[in-house]
Amino acid sequence: MNTEAIELLLVEDNPADEELTLHVLEKNNLANRIHVVRDGVEAVEFLFENSGTIPRLILLDLKLPRLSGLEVLARIKQDARTRKIPVVVLTSSREDVDLNTCYELGVNSYIVKPVDFIQFTESIRQLGLYWLLFNEPARAYNQQRA
């Protein structure tokens, strides 16, 4: 199990989903620091322009303002600095085109957000346990960018 500091990027424009996701992650001590951005442009700026930190995991909604989650995913997976960061899409979309496009772009996991409160919280808890505690990340992106 990895014991390094855990940083996570949550890209979510729905305040209720953001609050619930943060609550579950914090309650289960699954990340040392959680960065929240609320649209695709903010996500790209965080990853490529304004931040010295590369997160261990990105939780990405698809239906975002200004720049879609698909466009953000494409940029993440095309750039050598970020392509190894696991990206988990958390979306309400059950559309085959969204699912297939995400996997073609290199998403690591695609999860349809459960509508039920208990199922949603358990899904976040389980994905956090797996991706943040049990999964061994590539070593290159655990370092701070200069």
Q: Whose CA is closest to 23, among 110, 125, 131?
A: 125
User: pLDDT over 90 for what percent of the chain?
Assistant: 75
The residue type of 98 is D
Which residues 6+ apart lie within 8 Å of 6 measured at CB?
30, 31, 32, 33, 56, 132
Enumerate domains of the chain plus CATH numbers: 7-135 (3.40.50.2300)
Distance CA 83, CA 113 (A): 24
Residue 12 pLDDT > 90, yes or no?
yes
Share of the chain above pLDDT 70, in %: 90
pLDDT digits (tens, 9 = 90+) for 110-146: 999 998 999 999 999 999 999 988 988 887 544 444 3
The CA angle 15-18-19, to the nearest 5 degrees, is: 85
The residues, any chain, with a CB within 8 Å of residue 67's CB and separated by 6 or more, are 39, 40, 41, 43, 44
State how far the Cα of 112 lies from the Cα of 89, in Å rounded to an integer. 8
Judged against a pLDDT cut of 90, whether residue 49 lies above it is answered with: no
